[in-house]
Chain A
Amino acid sequence: MRKQIGQSIVGFIILFPIVFLLILSFGKQWFYPHILPNLWQTSQWESLFSPSFQLTKSLGLSLLLSISVGLVSTVTAFYFSKKIAYSYNKTTWLSLAYVPYLLSPIIFAVLIHFYFLKTGLSGSLLGVIIAQFLICFPFGIIICSTFWTAQIQSLENLSSTLGGSSTQTLKRVLLPLAKSTLLLCFFQCFLISWFEYGLTHFIGAGKVKTLTVSVFSYVNEANPFLAALAGFLLILPSVLLLLANKKLIFKTSNKRPDYE
């Protein structure tokens, strides 16, 4: 009984924010002390289907940005993780991969902003993609490094011994085996980019209006209803991903880099 009550409380704490955001996204007016909005509207949701609506543009922009960052980070991280895994300084490189994470993206943005200003990348989508890549890429290396085990190395050697070229080994042996790691890496990098606010706002100079930037804009404009809608759109892809395969969102600690 106590266990059931406890788990119900946990369930409520987890589900309440989603329901709350959904309710608020349909609100038009919410005077104190009404528990729920005293005026409702569906026009905000309807506007989402209009391409000129700012939030629709932000949704498209966020998708483009996160998919680009996810793809570029995964491909480069996979390549370099192999090099690291087979090198003598594996532990050092993997330790160094944690450094950008330690820095906090917003502090990283403050420190490198000058170079983005000088190259004209500040305030541009390309600038934000590059800045987010610099954060996601080391993280991708940490994820992909778990793939390169002694068994994979043996399979690679076997393929070469049997006459397979490096391209054939990659296409027919490594990529099929690495599918789940690559997907995990892509979705993790996608989510880092999708969730990112500080660095995006700083490097994008407020001009690259992603969904997270929109939430803050609406909060500053004292429009909690649009902020709730933007917030709901932000959690939607990750919830869908989660329902599709929860292992893509989170990987339990049994396969961490060797040096830990």
Chain B
Amino acid sequence: MISIKQIISWKTALFILMLLPMMLGLGYGLLYSFGVIGLLNTGFTTEHWSDVLLNFNFWKSLLFSFGIGLISVGISLVIALWMVVNWHHDLRKGKLSTLIYLPLAFPATVVGFFIFQSFSKTGFWSRLLYQTGVISEIEDFPSLVNDAYGIGIILASTFIITPFLSLILKGIFENEDVTRFQHIAKSLGASQRQVLVKITLPILLQKAKTSLLLFLIFVIGSYEIPLLLGRQNPKMITVAIVDKAQRFNLDDIPQAYAMAIVYVLFLLFLFFGFQRLAKLKTKAYA
């Protein structure tokens, strides 16, 4: 009797489970965006691609998402570094060591909802400021959600990322025995500032760079948070793609696929380009 193992090797099975669905999806999207298949498509055309590539709003969405990602990761990094450098003992033992894990239990949907309910013009903080006399009417409270600068999205993303990043940096701090290096540098006459800039930060940042990139990609690709806290213009790229794909106008679907493919290529380029760059740098140092 022939077993399944004999029919397909583990590599084939893994390829089918891990890569084939994505490749089929990209293939379908590519054919659809070039007008080869699809309900209203009539034949090969580059019209949808030129519509997307020459569309200012598409690039704006992509850059907006990238910018929001950079700012969120940047803020989280500063907070996490500050906490790890100053409170690494408290992050290991005591109340803070348990508390810091709690936000990891919050899904993006809940964080988005919480930020909306607390930072909108009718939210908790607006009410509190009104009751304490800091603002005299609802309009005095700044627009922090559904705003043009994506402040609400940045707040929510920072809330989600910072604890993760703190724990990663704390792990690096302990594994790399940064305290020992700090003591050596101090005993050799380095100032507090020199220890931070020349020892602590380079070790932490060097080891955390892949995680930082993954967080950046996570924010760029987030959907729930911009859906709740973003606005129509500028839109985060994921929301822009889904909006096009779900519209009643079927003519927009090929553009949605073209946008999705550009987005995927952008992220693959970002990830693998970064990996390659990091490898080249390591080789150059070696």
- Chain A residues with CB under 8 Å of chain B are 3, 6-7, 10-11, 13-15, 17-18, 20-21, 24, 32-35, 76, 80, 83-84, 87, 93, 95-108, 110-115, 134, 137-138, 141, 194-195, 197-198, 202, 212, 215-216, 219, 224, 227-228, 231, 234-235, 238-239, 241-242, 246, 249-250, 252-254, 260
Q: Is the CB of B207 within 8 A of A253?
A: yes
Q: Is the CB of B109 within 8 A of A253?
A: no
B96: nearest chain-A partner, CB-CB: A7
B208: nearest chain-A partner, CB-CB: A253
A137: nearest chain-B partner, CB-CB: B17
CA distance A76 to B268 in the complex (A): 25
> Which of B25-33, B46-54, B146-154 sits within the interface?
B25-33
- Contacting residues, chain B, for A100 (C-beta < 8 A): 18, 22
- Contacting residues, chain A, for B127 (C-beta < 8 A): 32-35
Taking CB atoms and an 8 Å cut-off, the chain B residues in 135-152 that contact chain A are 138
CA distance A246 to B170 in the complex (A): 15
Beyond contacts A17-B110, A103-B22: 12 other A-B pairs, Cβ-Cβ < 8 A, are A3-B87, A7-B90, A32-B138, A33-B138, A93-B14, A95-B272, A97-B18, A104-B223, A107-B238, A111-B28, A197-B109, A250-B164
A227: nearest chain-B partner, CB-CB: B113
13 A-B pairs in the complex with CB atoms less than 8 angstroms apart: A20-B114, A87-B11, A97-B18, A100-B22, A104-B238, A110-B260, A112-B24, A138-B18, A195-B109, A228-B113, A242-B101, A242-B102, A254-B174
A202 to chain B, nearest CB (A): 7
B218 to chain A, nearest CB (A): 8
Given A10-B96, A33-B131, A234-B107: A83 touches B14 (CB 8 Å cut-off): yes
Q: Is the CB of B106 within 8 A of A112?
A: no
Chief secondary structure at chain A's binding surface: helix
> Which of B56-64, B70-78, B117-125, B186-194 sits within the interface?
B117-125
A89: nearest chain-B partner, CB-CB: B11
A23: nearest chain-B partner, CB-CB: B124
Does B241 have its Cβ within 8 Å of any Cβ on chain A? yes
B97 to chain A, nearest CB (A): 9
Q: Is the CB of B271 within 8 A of A102?
A: yes
- Contacting residues, chain B, for A102 (C-beta < 8 A): 217, 221, 264, 267-268, 271
Q: How many residues of B contact A (CB 8 A)?
A: 84
CA distance A21 to B17 in the complex (A): 39
Does B263 have its Cβ within 8 Å of any Cβ on chain A? yes
A254: nearest chain-B partner, CB-CB: B175
Does B100 have its Cβ within 8 Å of any Cβ on chain A? yes
Q: Is the CB of B275 within 8 A of A198?
A: no
- Contacting residues, chain B, for A87 (C-beta < 8 A): 11
A97: nearest chain-B partner, CB-CB: B18
CA distance A209 to B256 in the complex (A): 25
Candidate in B14, B103, B118, B211 with the most chain A CB atoms within 10 angstroms: B14
A103: nearest chain-B partner, CB-CB: B264
Given A14-B103, A76-B17, A95-B275: A112 touches B25 (CB 8 Å cut-off): yes
Q: Is the CB of B260 within 8 A of A15?
A: no
Does B248 have its Cβ within 8 Å of any Cβ on chain A? no
CA distance A68 to B238 in the complex (A): 27
Q: Is the CB of A212 within 8 A of B107?
A: yes
- Contacting residues, chain B, for A252 (C-beta < 8 A): 167-168, 170-171, 174-175
B30: nearest chain-A partner, CB-CB: A111
CA distance A107 to B17 in the complex (A): 18
Q: Is the CB of B271 within 8 A of A239?
A: no
Candidate in B22, B210, B271 with the most chain A CB atoms within 10 angstroms: B22
Interface string of B77-91 (1 = CB under 8 A from A): 000000100110010
Q: Is the CB of B22 within 8 A of A108?
A: yes
A44 to chain B, nearest CB (A): 16
Q: Is the CB of B109 within 8 A of A212?
A: yes
- Contacting residues, chain A, for B26 (C-beta < 8 A): 111
Interface string of B207-244 (1 = CB under 8 A from A): 11011001001001111100110000000001001100
Q: Is the CB of A15 within 8 A of B110?
A: no
Given A35-B127, A198-B242: A238 touches B104 (CB 8 Å cut-off): yes
- Contacting residues, chain A, for B114 (C-beta < 8 A): 17, 20-21, 231
CB < 8 Å: which of B105, B113, B122 contacts A32?
Answer: B122
- Contacting residues, chain A, for B105 (C-beta < 8 A): 235, 238-239, 241-242, 249
B10: nearest chain-A partner, CB-CB: A83
CA distance A242 to B167 in the complex (A): 14
Q: Is the CB of A98 within 8 A of B271?
A: yes
